[in-house]
Structure 1
Amino acid sequence: MTPAIRLDDVSITLPDAEAPVLSHLDLAVQEGDLALVIGRTGAGKSTLLGALNGLVPHFSGGRLEGTVTVAGRDTRGHRPRDLADVVGVVGQNPMAGFVTDTVEDEIAYGMEQLGISPSIMRKRVEETLDLLSIADLRSRPLLDLSGGQQQRVAIASVLAAQPRILVLDEPTSALDPNAAQDVLASITTLVDDVGLTVVLAEHRLERVMHAADTVIWLPGDGSAVQGDPSEVLLKADVTPPLAQLSRLLGWDSVPLSVRRARRRVHDEERIPARSAPEPSEALSWSADPDDDVAELEDLCVSYGDLDAVDHVDLALQSGTVTALMGRNGAGKSSLMWAVQGATRSSGSVRVRSNPAPAARPASGAQEWSDPRTASPEQARRLVSLVPQAAADLLYLPSVGDECEQADRESEVAPGTTASILDRLGAGLPADRDPRDLSEGQRLALVLAIQLAARPTVVLLDEPTRGLDYAMKAQLARIVRGIADGSGPGLPGSPAAVLISTHDVEFAAASSDRTVVMADGQIVADGTTRSVCTSSPAFSPQMAKVFHPADVLTPDEVARALKEPAEGGSR
């Protein structure tokens, strides 16, 4: 059978680059396969995907050597518009690809450009709305949707045109666990039942690797390794939890699902002898009110008839990392923007000021302020927010200019922001244009800018989007340092950190407490261990593999297996 996609001795050199980002690749994806592209940030995944529909080099520029053949067409002689009927592409940023105003119009737009008749268009719109479970969003303005909802609409707009090949760049990065499963189930159904060929790049491999027929690993040196997922993942430099577990236990291949891993550990009797907490403990978070640095009482945020945040009471403590979870549209981002003061809200928001240690009263008393009514200078010292798209806060031509501006706005000594950036481990040249940075580098720069003001409360909205496993582990260490006051912020200034995330593995590794929202209300609030082990949707893979043992991460598994068993088997 002729492959749906073939790359013969392909090398790609980007504009102004001295060396090719991809060099002498020979790859093939068979028709009806789901190919998973993996690699560290900056390894060339997006470049490879862009070559599959001619965006590279017809749009991006640069030089393409070798031959890329897609559905029998050579991309060298076919521009993206000539491949639109056979290749559908969904990029990392859904908003960048939208051209209409409402959900239904966006889904129909691609079919209009292909000249599909109105009667067929109407039928496909309905089918696609149902396929991705977004029929209730039909008339909603795209700008009013959450990041996850926008991503599902972007996928729907491409699927409606019924391409033979679907190219997806991080399709689940903004989706909650259940929504991600729904989208991937829809995609795999099309693969299995229709024969759709899918090429998918993803950082959260634990969500998709069980569905992959083949894996293409880009080590970052320009080469590519293609093969069986269970074998490639064992040696790749990106390590989802099951790959970490396989290396820890000395397995010769990676089980691609929790079911397979669970059977294997039970067969080998390698179960940590640690009991999980009782489900009733999931709502057991308690803290001394004297430790509170932020208090929300009866907080409400409404958009017309929609109550995004519905009478929420929540207290945050200094030195604590709290994960905020829930399905897309649950109100997580709205709550954060309300705390920061950028969204109109009702109810009470009180945050303690965080003066320098030498300026604190001997009694320990601190002033409470409302960031919604504080001056911009004071608000920066109360609450800082890193939004989902960190680049939205970057507007100057260089990293150095951004750092200097942050020093002035935060009224700190020159060089403070640059010093924090260095301690974050980003290593960014001062003359680098922020637009040329990777997602992880932009996040580090914005985080440094926000930390310069030494805020009492640090809010991070989906900070792991676009980050590989190594970068997420580094971010977890940074977040812990911010909370403890021992990290890259100014010394002696612990903070309360609130992280909105759909990444259950990151939440398990980085947070002390987990709050779950649904329909604008808090439905669970407890220790991360108790909440995550009592919820199928928000459980990390290690908790599922070793249930009922009390472990959340591969590191905890390693420690638990070294402990002497106290009853039960190892």
Structure 2
Amino acid sequence: MTMIRFEDVSVRYEGTARPTVDHVDLAVPEGELVLVVGSSGVGKSTLLGTVSGLVPHFTGGTLRGRVTVAGRDTRTHKPRELADVVGTVGQDPLAHFVTDTVEDELAYGMESLGLAPDVMRRRVEETLDLLGLADLRDRPITTLSGGQQQRVAIGSVLTPHPKVLVLDEPTSALDPAAAEEVLAVLQRLVHDLGTTVLMAEHRLERVVQYADQVLLLPSPGAAPVLGDPAELMAVSPVYPPVVALGRLAGLTPLPLTVRDARRKAAGLRERLDGVTPPERGAAPAAPEERDAAPAGRWWRRGRKEPAHQGAAATGARVQGLAVRRGRVEALRRVDLSVAPGETIALMGRNGAGKSTLLSTLVGLLPPTAGTVRVGGAAPHRTAPRELIRRVGLVPQEPRDLLYADTVAAECAAADHDAEAPAGSCRDLVAELLPGIADDTHPRDLSEGQRLALALAIVLTARPPLLLLDEPTRGLDYAAKARLVTILRGLAAEGHAIVLATHDVELAAELAHRVVILADGEVVADGPTAEVVVSSPAFAPQVTKVLAPQRWLTVAQVRDALEDLDG
């Protein structure tokens, strides 16, 4: 039975030169998990929005063709008239909430549909247990971490038991363990209840192995292709590390899981036996090596050095730090040092204290006990105009930094504030994510595009200490690779970088050190290879496939094979 049908569907927004999605003609069967794959800005969110009715009823634009869900035409049925059939979670969970506490949010959708109180109570309890939210049931939603909010948003659409779930980046803010729990729940819904799941996700390493089919959007406006996951991963412009490793080693058919790749990679492990992967230890390069290191293009192109260039040697030191947020002891007994030129990945489960630690480093939260120093100054006691010359933060919610009506206006303001040459910010946006038009309103950008803009605004000032909270959320693999290149260039110049991330692949590519937080305390701190190789939860896919050898990335393996073939 067909659950979702697209009949020659195109969507075009006012002021755009071409349709965002075009000539979509396909059917999604009942009880399948379909993964929507494509680069940032290719139209994945728009395609999902046509199923929930948000496009065009909420977003505007012109929808041509016909989308039906369980026989209902989404052009003639508004989102509230589809609520009993379609449950939707967008990229921004905060925009999803209508109540104050976790338990009330889980019950709200069922109340709107008029379900009996005993049914509501049972389903709330089931969902609390399914998503690991039982301990948070009475918590105000505003006090939760980004990942916890994501789980609440997913839970709120599960409780009404819809026939179709539409999920846009559902695991982007979740730690690896929480992501596995959510995906296991989705699998159970698909297999046991026949729920149809349509999901877009950039972190394909987490989800592609669960997909019954992949819906590939090759490029903006190009007709999507629906088919077998392994076949489409062989031609997709975006693919996870396990697929990249399979392509590199010539494995056929392409493996989609670590288990399958391990079985097929015995020959690759034999070729690499005795080859030592390059170590990227905690100590950054010496100043003379940094001076000689290649840098990215954007910060070298005709740019005057800012007045605070001498502060590029600024690091940070945290000693005995404790922070309370209301009744919650978010951090306790935290010691951390960040040297100039060093990149540190902060990792740990949702709610471990990663964002809180970044907030103290940028002066948004004062310490309850202990000390925080950035370049010798206490951030919470430093004037904002002086602090911005020492440290910059890209928050989890990029919209917090966006105030202007167009991308061009945002970039012009960033250039002015940073005393940078005109065009510096705009050049960086183009470097991170090409194709964003100057006159685009920030609210019309995808989550990944908004993040690229926020990153560009902060990076334009070239802060000596750069803090990034989930910097790859919403970014495809190509955009992530460009971000890695830019951050490596900054580190080579002596900038200190701290990333709070659940992206184990990013940590493997970029970090000198990994610091793992648990319940507000540091439980591991060491060189990336030592920490992630010994951790099943935080090990990247290449490490799992090639264990016990200590490889971290596909690039390391590619370089080694080229040397062997020499």
From the superposition, tell whether residues 285 and 62 of structure 1 become closer, same or farther in structure 2 (CA, over 3 Å).
Answer: closer
Q: Is the 8 A contact 1:206 1:241 kept in 2?
A: yes
The partner residue of 1:342 within 361, 364, 379 is 364
Paired positions, count: 537
Counterpart of 1:364 in structure 2 is none
Residue 87 of structure 1 and its aligned partner are, at CA, apart by 1.0
Secondary structure at 1:52 match in 2: helix
Counterpart of 2:239 in structure 1 is 239
From the superposition, tell whether residues 413 and 206 of structure 1 become closer, same or farther in structure 2 (CA, over 3 Å).
Answer: closer
Per-residue deviation, residues 231-284 of structure 1 (Å, max 9, x unmatched): 10110011211221122122343212100010011267655225789xxx99x9
Identical positions, percent: 53
Q: Please list, as runs of the form range in 1=range in 2, the aligned pairs for 1:304-383 lying within 5 A after superposition.
A: 304-345=326-367, 346-352=369-375, 368-383=376-391
From the superposition, tell whether residues 403 and 62 of structure 1 become closer, same or farther in structure 2 (CA, over 3 Å).
Answer: closer
Q: Distance in 1 between matches of 2:276 and 2:189?
A: 38
From the superposition, tell whether residues 88 and 415 of structure 1 become closer, same or farther in structure 2 (CA, over 3 Å).
Answer: closer
Letter of the 1:223 counterpart: A
Moved more, 429-438 or 476-485: 429-438
Q: Please list, as runs of the form range in 1=range in 2, the aligned pairs for 1:421-432 lying within 5 A after superposition.
A: 421=429, 426=434, 430-432=438-440
Q: Is the 8 A contact 1:21 1:222 kept in 2?
A: no
Q: Distance in 2 between matches of 1:428 and 1:228?
A: 31
Counterpart of 2:315 in structure 1 is 293
Residue 505 of structure 1 and its aligned partner are, at CA, apart by 0.7
Residue 79 of structure 1 and its aligned partner are, at CA, apart by 2.1
Q: Is the 8 A contact 2:284 2:340 kept in 1?
A: no
Q: Distance in 2 between matches of 1:55 and 1:425?
A: 26
Secondary structure at 1:263 match in 2: helix
Counterpart of 1:393 in structure 2 is 401
Q: Distance in 2 between matches of 1:125 and 1:303?
A: 27
Q: Is the 8 A contact 1:274 1:560 kept in 2?
A: no
The partner residue of 1:461 within 466, 469, 478 is 469
Residue 518 of structure 1 and its aligned partner are, at CA, apart by 0.5
Letter of the 1:377 counterpart: R
Counterpart of 2:108 in structure 1 is 109
Q: Distance in 1 between matches of 2:267 and 2:195?
A: 37
From the superposition, tell whether residues 446 and 288 of structure 1 become closer, same or farther in structure 2 (CA, over 3 Å).
Answer: closer
Q: Is the 8 A contact 1:386 1:460 kept in 2?
A: yes
Q: Distance in 1 between matches of 2:411 and 2:564?
A: 51
Q: Please list, as runs of the form range in 1=range in 2, the aligned pairs for 1:521-536 lying within 5 A after superposition.
A: 521-536=521-536
Residue 84 of structure 1 and its aligned partner are, at CA, apart by 1.1
Letter of the 1:68 counterpart: V
Counterpart of 1:139 in structure 2 is 138
Counterpart of 2:96 in structure 1 is 97
Moved more, 22-31 or 95-104: 22-31
Counterpart of 1:303 in structure 2 is 325
1:151 to 2:172 alignment: no
Unpaired runs of 5+ in structure 2?
288-312
Residue 173 of structure 1 and its aligned partner are, at CA, apart by 0.3
Moved more, 2-11 or 112-121: 2-11
Counterpart of 1:201 in structure 2 is 200
Letter of the 1:251 counterpart: L
Q: Distance in 1 between matches of 2:269 and 2:549?
A: 13
From the superposition, tell whether residues 415 and 200 of structure 1 become closer, same or farther in structure 2 (CA, over 3 Å).
Answer: closer
Residue 159 of structure 1 and its aligned partner are, at CA, apart by 0.3
Residue 469 of structure 1 and its aligned partner are, at CA, apart by 0.5
From the superposition, tell whether residues 416 and 9 of structure 1 become closer, same or farther in structure 2 (CA, over 3 Å).
Answer: closer
Secondary structure at 1:235 match in 2: coil
Secondary structure at 1:499 match in 2: strand
Q: Is the 8 A contact 1:234 1:254 kept in 2?
A: yes
Residue 415 of structure 1 and its aligned partner are, at CA, apart by 5.6
Q: Is the 8 A contact 2:314 2:465 kept in 1?
A: no
From the superposition, tell whether residues 399 and 380 of structure 1 become closer, same or farther in structure 2 (CA, over 3 Å).
Answer: same
Letter of the 1:167 counterpart: V
Counterpart of 2:451 in structure 1 is 443
Q: Is the 8 A contact 1:275 1:548 kept in 2?
A: no
Residue 439 of structure 1 and its aligned partner are, at CA, apart by 3.2
Q: Distance in 2 between matches of 1:67 and 1:230?
A: 29
TM, length-normalised to structure 1:
0.89
Residue 205 of structure 1 and its aligned partner are, at CA, apart by 0.6
Q: Distance in 2 between matches of 1:255 and 1:544?
A: 13
From the superposition, tell whether residues 6 and 427 of structure 1 become closer, same or farther in structure 2 (CA, over 3 Å).
Answer: closer
Per-residue deviation, residues 296-340 of structure 1 (Å, max 9, x unmatched): 111111113311111211110111111110000000000000010
Letter of the 2:196 counterpart: T
Unpaired runs of 5+ in structure 1?
353-367, 486-493, 566-570
Secondary structure at 2:231 match in 1: helix
From the superposition, tell whether residues 51 and 444 of structure 1 become closer, same or farther in structure 2 (CA, over 3 Å).
Answer: closer
Moved more, 502-511 or 414-423: 414-423
Residue 44 of structure 1 and its aligned partner are, at CA, apart by 1.0
From the superposition, tell whether residues 108 and 422 of structure 1 become closer, same or farther in structure 2 (CA, over 3 Å).
Answer: closer
Q: Distance in 2 between matches of 1:413 and 1:476?
A: 24
Q: Distance in 1 between matches of 2:450 and 2:363?
A: 23
Q: Distance in 2 between matches of 1:452 and 1:237?
A: 29
Moved more, 13-22 or 407-416: 407-416
Q: Is the 8 A contact 1:513 1:526 kept in 2?
A: yes
Counterpart of 2:508 in structure 1 is 508
TM, length-normalised to structure 2:
0.89
From the superposition, tell whether residues 425 and 274 of structure 1 become closer, same or farther in structure 2 (CA, over 3 Å).
Answer: farther
Secondary structure at 1:372 match in 2: helix
Q: Is the 8 A contact 2:41 2:449 kept in 1?
A: no
Letter of the 1:347 counterpart: G
Q: Is the 8 A contact 1:377 1:410 kept in 2?
A: no
The partner residue of 1:472 within 471, 480, 499 is 480
Q: Is the 8 A contact 1:276 1:548 kept in 2?
A: no
Q: Is the 8 A contact 2:174 2:502 kept in 1?
A: yes
Q: Is the 8 A contact 2:392 2:466 kept in 1?
A: yes
Counterpart of 1:555 in structure 2 is 555
Residue 419 of structure 1 and its aligned partner are, at CA, apart by 5.7
Secondary structure at 2:380 match in 1: coil
Residue 440 of structure 1 and its aligned partner are, at CA, apart by 3.7
Counterpart of 2:50 in structure 1 is 51
Per-residue deviation, residues 97-153 of structure 1 (Å, max 9, x unmatched): 100000000000000110101111111111111111101110000100100000000
Q: Is the 8 A contact 2:407 2:437 kept in 1?
A: yes
From the superposition, tell whether residues 102 and 271 of structure 1 become closer, same or farther in structure 2 (CA, over 3 Å).
Answer: farther
Q: Distance in 2 between matches of 1:17 and 1:175?
A: 34
Residue 66 of structure 1 and its aligned partner are, at CA, apart by 2.3
Q: Distance in 1 between matches of 2:544 and 2:232?
A: 23
